[in-house]
Amino acid sequence: MNLHNKAKRALELMDLTSLNAHDTNESIIAMLDKIDAEIGLPAAICVYPQFVALCKAQLAERSFNSIKIATVTNFPSGKEPLEAVLDQTRQAIRDGADEIDLVMPYNQVIMGDPDTPWQYVRSSKDVCGEKVQLKVIIESGILSEPEVIAQASDIAILAGADFIKTSTGKVSVNATLQAAEVMLSRIKANNKPVGFKAAGGVKTVAETLPYLDAAERIMGQSWVNAERFRFGASSLLTDIKSVLASDS
């Protein structure tokens, strides 16, 4: 596969993301304006909950009907009360969210309490039901050790996650290839229909390639599609456009 096709593939697997403290309606619309249907559409848009309704209206206006709307809950600390997280989830779904990216209470995993993270994931999935996908952020950079990353992955998978996701992008270490390989291996070992999302720090087409290679090696080539594999990124689209422009 040449670089042009790799760039197109990265675009199709991307959750175009804006999770900044200074986000406004105008800045979210400006992000959507960067999407060029002629080169391809991302898999999803990922924004804070207060922008879900705006994105739903904007995507409909642009006839970008295939793009999912994702939002975040318990973000980024993983420390909000469960009922507040569930209320936020319900409101986001009412506003039009197709996917919920929940931050697992990852510090509880480190402290030896698997039950609290399990409850957050299970309760959130119960609210999401079958129509809304639940992507669980384990914050792999904080968990750090492979065995702890594996444990957090198992908790999320067994509690009903549709995806497991590396990172919030708000800590010093975000997506790493080592964490990705551990998480993908746990998906395979649990033998459940769970996807994987690498988020934080994947900024170029070249940086996507090791993750795709790992997923194909562990899960098989046909497994790697937007239903099962995503990149969470904000600046990746700029590099994708650069690659496609230079190759045109």
Quick one: tokens of 142?
């904080």
The C-alpha atoms of residue 111 and residue 129 are separated, in whole angstroms, by: 29
165 is catalytic: yes
Quick one: tokens of 74?
């318990």
Which of the following is catalytic: 68, 135, 197, 239?
197
**In sequence order, which ranges of 96-204 are alpha helices (DSSP H)?**
106-110, 115-128, 140-143, 146-159, 177-190
The C-alpha atoms of residue 146 and residue 223 are separated, in whole angstroms, by: 23
Which of the following is catalytic: 8, 68, 125, 165?
165
- Tell me: cis bond preceding 76? Omega within 30 of 0 counts: yes
Query: Exposed (0-12), middle (13-18) or buried (19+): which is 196, by Cβ within 10 Å?
Result: buried
The C-alpha atoms of residue 29 and residue 40 are separated, in whole angstroms, by: 18
Amino acid making up residue 233? A
197 is catalytic: yes
Quick one: tokens of 178?
């080592």
Rg of the chain over all Cα atoms, to the nearest angstrom: 17
Which of the following is catalytic: 101, 125, 135, 239?
101
- Catalytically active residues are 101, 165, 197
